[in-house]
Structures are given as C-alpha cells and as structure tokens.
Amino acid sequence: MEKLTQTKAQLNKLVVGREKEIDFMLIALIQGGHVLLESVPGSGKTWMAKAFAGSFAGQFQRIQFTPDVLPSDVTGIRFFNPQTQEFELRAGPVQTNLLLADEINRATPRTQSSLLESMEEKQATIDGETIQLPDPFIVIATQNPVESQQGTFPLPAAQLDRFLFRLEIGYPAYEEELSIIRNFRDNVSHKKEILPIASVEDVRTWRVEAGRVAVHEDIETYILALVRATREHPSIELGLSSRAALALVHAAQGRAFMEGRSFVTPDDVKYILEPVAVHRLMLTAEGMLVHEPAAVLHEISNSVPSPVEAF
C-alpha cells in the first residue's frame, strides 16, 4: 500500500485538481479495467494519461486515432521478410501494459472494433494466430464530445460496455487553473518529475489483494437492486447488463482496497456508481428530451435503499 499511496501523491501533484479521476484510474489499473476520458480539447486528458503511465515501470504505447488508421495498425501484421524468405509476425501497439487510444472516436468502426477482443479477452488475433497480451493490460481512451459531428464515429454500445469507467472531465476551479498556469508554464521541467514508482508485479499484487476484499450478501443485493432499477425506469431504453453488475462489484472492491478496508460498504458502491454506469445507459427518445443519463442515475440511486444497518 505504501507504493500505491506514493503513486497517488505523485499523480495528484502532476495533475492538478483531478483527485477523484485519479482514484478511478488507479481502481481501473488495479482491477484490470479500461477508462474512457471525455472532455473538451485542452483539458489535459492526454497529459493525465501519460503522467499515469509514467508512474509505473510497465510498457506504454500511444495510438493517435484518425480515420485512416487501420485495424492492423492497432493489433499488428504478418509480413514477408525477404531476407529469411518467411512470414513474420509483428505485434502492434496493443502489445503493452497501458495503451493510450487518443481520440478514439476519430477511428472508423472497423478500427474501433479491432480493440474489442483486446479489451475483453486480453488477446489479439492476427491472421488467424492468437497472441496473449501482457498482464496487466488496460486501455485509456480519450474523446472530445464537442466534435461529435466532425469526422468522428461514436462508439457503439457494445464497445462502451467494455470500459469500466467513463470520466467526464470538466473545467478546473479558479484556484486549480491558477495553479496550472504557475506550475506548468515551463513545458519541460514538470515532465522530468514523472518517476516510475510501482512495478508491474506491484500492480498484480494489488489486484490479488483487491480480489480478497469481502462483498457482503447485502451489498450484492443492493447492487442488483440498482441494476434492475435501471431496467425498469420509464426513461431508460437499455439498462445495465450483467457485465455492468460485475463491474460495480469489482470497482467497489477496488475503492475499498484503496481506502485500506477489507470489506465493501454501500458508500463504496455509491462512489463508483456514476462512472461505471453512466455510459452503459441508453435513454428513450422521450427521456433524452428532458433528462441527462447522470440525472436519471442519481434519481435511481436515491430511490434504492442502501443496507446501512449492516454496517
């Protein structure tokens, strides 16, 4: 836990005013989940991902998505080597521990789908040959919501469901933005401050320990009640899936582990509910006219009683 605390402290120093988002990214790393960062251009999404990756002694790759990026640019290719007179396999950027998929919604649906197998199965298939990806492997993807109609391709529900968290990053507070201006006016010095603190083996150990965090039967019932409430809400056309229910369990365990507890509380579930669930909901046509998914989720959270008595 000491290295986890040091890593969190370094990230909070490098990325000003994003304490909660950093918590979620650390939970995703511990639990082997993927993160979708969404905000307006210039809000520091890419820098946050690079600082996050630099805090670990694992492999890091970045793909800048554009409409002409091909699936083979992501997964890899098999090419003919004239020197050896044989076909050789060259793995793509997915052969890494942390993959930054920058502006993922600029890629075509065909290229986006090339990530599905890697995100779900932790493997990639190249010309019929399946290769295992390193452990851990997580994807941090970014997208700009303001450019939804300018040469972009919205992620389908099936791919959104692969992301453990969707984090909407707003504008910083006044004092935070002032700190950014003062601390980062030098474009070089702050980059030198990124030090790898935790090893790949540390991350694997954290995952094992987080998996031992107890989930009481009342917590399981509470999570299922939330999930089923989304399926019955009149403004929701597509509610949370069973994968989403499992994601809530894993994320709550990760939150409890980061807090130094050996059990999950209802507050853990409430803390991670919105970033786990908001991108998995699809509102009805009428619901979209009057509600935001986060508002509907907040309403459901308030309507489902939590098992306070058990804790």
Q: Are residues 37 and 121 both part of a single domain?
A: yes
299 found inside a domain: yes
Confidence of residue 188 (pLDDT cuts 50, 70, 90): low
Q: Are residues 234 and 170 both part of a single domain?
A: no
Q: Are residues 267 and 168 both part of a single domain?
A: no
Q: Are residues 176 and 269 both part of a single domain?
A: no
pLDDT at 84 over 70: yes
Q: Are residues 189 and 49 both part of a single domain?
A: yes
pLDDT digits (tens, 9 = 90+) for 209-219: 999 999 999 99
pLDDT at 146 over 80: no
Q: Are residues 172 and 269 both part of a single domain?
A: no
Q: Are residues 93 and 128 both part of a single domain?
A: yes
Tell me whether the omega of the peptide bond preceding residue 136 falls within 30 degrees of 0, making it cis: yes
pLDDT for 310: 46
Q: Which of 140, 174, 199 is the last residue of a domain?
A: 199
Q: Are residues 55 and 82 both part of a single domain?
A: yes
Give the structural domain span for 270: 212-303
Q: What is the CATH number of the domain that holds 149?
A: 3.40.50.300
Q: Are residues 194 and 237 both part of a single domain?
A: no
Long-range contacts of 207-212 (CB under 8 A, 24+ apart): 207/30, 207/31, 207/32, 207/136, 209/257, 210/30, 210/31, 210/253, 210/254, 210/256, 210/257, 211/253, 212/262
**Is residue 147 classed as helix, strand or coil in its secondary structure?**
helix
Q: Are residues 181 and 219 both part of a single domain?
A: no
181 found inside a domain: yes
pLDDT digits (tens, 9 = 90+) for 249-290: 999 999 999 999 999 999 999 999 999 999 999 999 888 888
Q: Cα dihedral sign for 109, 102, 177, 259? A: positive
pLDDT at 127 over 90: no
Q: Which of 177, 199, 221 is the last residue of a domain?
A: 199
Share of the chain above pLDDT 90, in %: 58
Distance of CA 280 to the CA centre of its chain: 13
310 found inside a domain: no
Q: Are residues 17 and 157 both part of a single domain?
A: yes
| 3-state helix vs strand vs coil in the chain, percent to 5 | 50, 15, 35
pLDDT for 258: 95
205 found inside a domain: no
Question: In total, how many domains does the chain have?
Answer: 2
Q: What is the CATH number of the domain that holds 254?
A: 1.10.8.80
77: CB partners within 8 A, 6+ apart: 89, 90, 92, 126, 127
pLDDT digits (tens, 9 = 90+) for 90-111: 888 999 999 999 999 999 999 9
Q: Which of 146, 169, 199 is the last residue of a domain?
A: 199
Q: Are residues 47 and 160 both part of a single domain?
A: yes
